[in-house]
Amino acid sequence: MNRIRRVGVVGCGVMGAGLAEVCARAGLDVLVAVSRPGREADGRRRLTGSLDNGLRKGKISEGDRDAALARVSFTADLSDFADRQFVIEAGPEQESVKLDVFATLDKVVVDENAILGSNTSSFPIVQLGRVTDRPGKVVGTHFFNPVTVLPLVELVGSVLTEDDTVDVAETFVTEVLGKQVVRTKDRSGFVVNALLIPYLLSAIRVYESGVASMADIDTAMKLGCAHPMGPFALSDLIGLDIVQAISESLYNEYREPHYSPPPLLSRMVSAGLLGKKSGRGFYDYPVREKVKVAA
């Protein structure tokens, strides 16, 4: 396969914007798909805000910021992805949405060697591949939030993914984007979330049972286990809807009770209390960090 120069990112939320930024800063031509017409300006504002933050912190120069912005364009029409060589889906953690995206990408991406990746946290890669006529070119590329900071990418090949696809994806992620890869089997939760989510769910159950307050549980895990964040602050950062979605995916695959979402988590998601991105989760966050969220 020729050197990957043209990348597509489906979605421009927190993860999508982060992916667009790291690809643009790596010198790639980046096309970002937003959810509907009129949202292109929102996507550019999110990307610009992140780059401006990097400029203020001295991580990039003004010239680097401007060059990165110039490499990114936006669209609300996936048919514009026809010439992309590597596409990363970073939409909502809803299986039906992801299946529709992959079915559409399969029809519009012309290059038969193009790789279709998904940033899913938990859904089986084989199911995404099966809605395409190129399941051998479908791979899991699970980046971590914030994408611009955290170096890890879980690379997930399904039983249908070609070995060459995984090799090319790893070369791209490591040599072009500068990330560190771990390869994992196509199992719900992969490595990180298969270990992390039960821990977060256990913390919620400890709180629900009245053993300790949220603040004390967070403090205990930071000071007693040297964790950089406590489980409630981390859940808010991830997004409670994402925690719930991964929990349900793990439970559906393994049917073990400790994977099931606790009642408090489900009620909070139903109420639209999704964490930092909605301005309120287990903790409250400044108004400037809020975004409109449909409950």
pLDDT of 289: 43
Q: Give the pLDDT band of residue 288 (cuts 50, 70, 90).
A: low
Strands of the chain (E only): list them.
6-10, 29-33, 72-75, 86-89, 115-118, 138-143, 152-157, 180-184
Using the predicted structure, report yes or no on whether residue 287 has a pLDDT greater than 80. Answer: no
In 3D space, the residue among 82, 78, 77 whose CA is nearest the CA of residue 6 turns out to be 82
d(Cα 216, Cα 74) in Å, to the nearest integer? Answer: 44
Using the predicted structure, report yes or no on whether residue 41 has a pLDDT greater than 60. Answer: yes
pLDDT digits over 196-206, tens only?
Answer: 999 999 999 99
Tokens describing residue 213: 């307050």
Q: Give the pLDDT band of residue 279 (cuts 50, 70, 90).
A: very high
CA 143, chain centre distance (Å): 6
pLDDT digits over 58-78, tens only?
Answer: 989 999 999 999 999 999 999
All CATH 1.10.1040.10 domain ranges in the chain, comma separated: 192-278
Contacts of 41 (CB under 8 A, 6+ apart): none
Torsion sign over Cα 157, 148, 236, 202: positive
121 is in an annotated binding site: yes
Q: Of 121, 188, 247, 278, which one is the catalytic site residue?
A: 121
CATH ID of 192-278, from 1.10.10.10, 3.40.190.10, 1.10.1040.10, 3.30.70.260: 1.10.1040.10
| Identity of the residue numbered 29 | D
275 near 238, Cβ under 8 Å?
Answer: yes
pLDDT of 1: 53
- Three-class secondary structure of residue 138 per DSSP: strand
Segment 225-239 shows an average pLDDT of 96
292 is in an annotated binding site: no
Tokens describing residue 96: 């039906």
pLDDT digits over 143-168, tens only?
Answer: 998 999 999 999 999 999 999 999 99
From the CB of residue 94, how many other CB atoms can be counted at a distance below 10 Å? 13
Query: Is 154 annotated as catalytic?
Result: yes
- Three-class secondary structure of residue 153 per DSSP: strand
Tell me which DSSP letter residue 176 carries: I
pLDDT of 295: 30
SS3 content of the chain, % helix, strand, coil (to 5): 50, 15, 35
Q: What is the CATH number of domain 6-185?
A: 3.40.50.720
pLDDT digits over 80-133, tens only?
Answer: 999 999 999 999 888 899 999 999 999 999 999 999 999 998 889 999 999 999
pTM of the entire structure? 0.89
Query: Is 193 annotated as catalytic?
Result: yes
